[in-house]
Amino acid sequence: MQDGTLISPGHFPETTPIVDQPVSAPRGDVFAANCPTRQLLDRIGDKWSVLILTLLGEETMRFNELKRRVDGVSQKMLSQTLRTLERDGLAFRTARPTVPVTVSYSITPLGRELLGAMQLLIDWAETRMADVSAAQRDYDRRLDMALT
């Protein structure tokens, strides 16, 4: 653990190290709750991790800059997400001995590799949003007709 990094006494089960968990589900059984792959996908698939990793892929950032850039994230969620990303080896926390201490976050090589894979999904979402919006309007229209 990096000097100055604290694990809060109430850290969440989803941040439990994957290597310490018994692997009773066969590899690739992502539908099983105890599958390590599923656990990692759950963590990197949350709504804040993708946004934070995308920003860290652009540049190293301080906490408050991340908070300003990620619209809607609370200080608590940003802190928890950064801690989890750091713990999973996807983000790196650097503390500089200034008064007050200067803390910044950057993406790790592992995080950059993940970001490359996520970029395909981001690109798909950006190109297909019009199609998704049209499908939502059609669905809502059918639902309205069925209720009337």
13, 104 in Cβ contact below 8 A? Answer: no
Measuring CA to CA, how many Å separate 80 from each of 7, 23, 62, 134?
Answer: 10, 25, 15, 35
Query: Two tokens at 41?
Result: 């996908």
So what's the pLDDT on residue 37? Answer: 87
The CATH class of 13-147 is mainly alpha
So what's the pLDDT on residue 43? Answer: 86
Q: Is the pLDDT of residue 44 over 50?
A: yes
Tell me which of 85 and 13 has the higher pLDDT: 85
Per-residue confidence band for 27, with pLDDT thresholds at 50, 70 and 90: low
Tell me which of 106 and 21 has the higher pLDDT: 106
What's the one-letter identity of residue 48? W
Residue with tokens 């309007």: 137
**d(C-alpha 37, C-alpha 29), whole Å:** 8
Question: Which residues of 51-147 form beta strands (DSSP E)?
Answer: 61-62, 91-96, 102-107
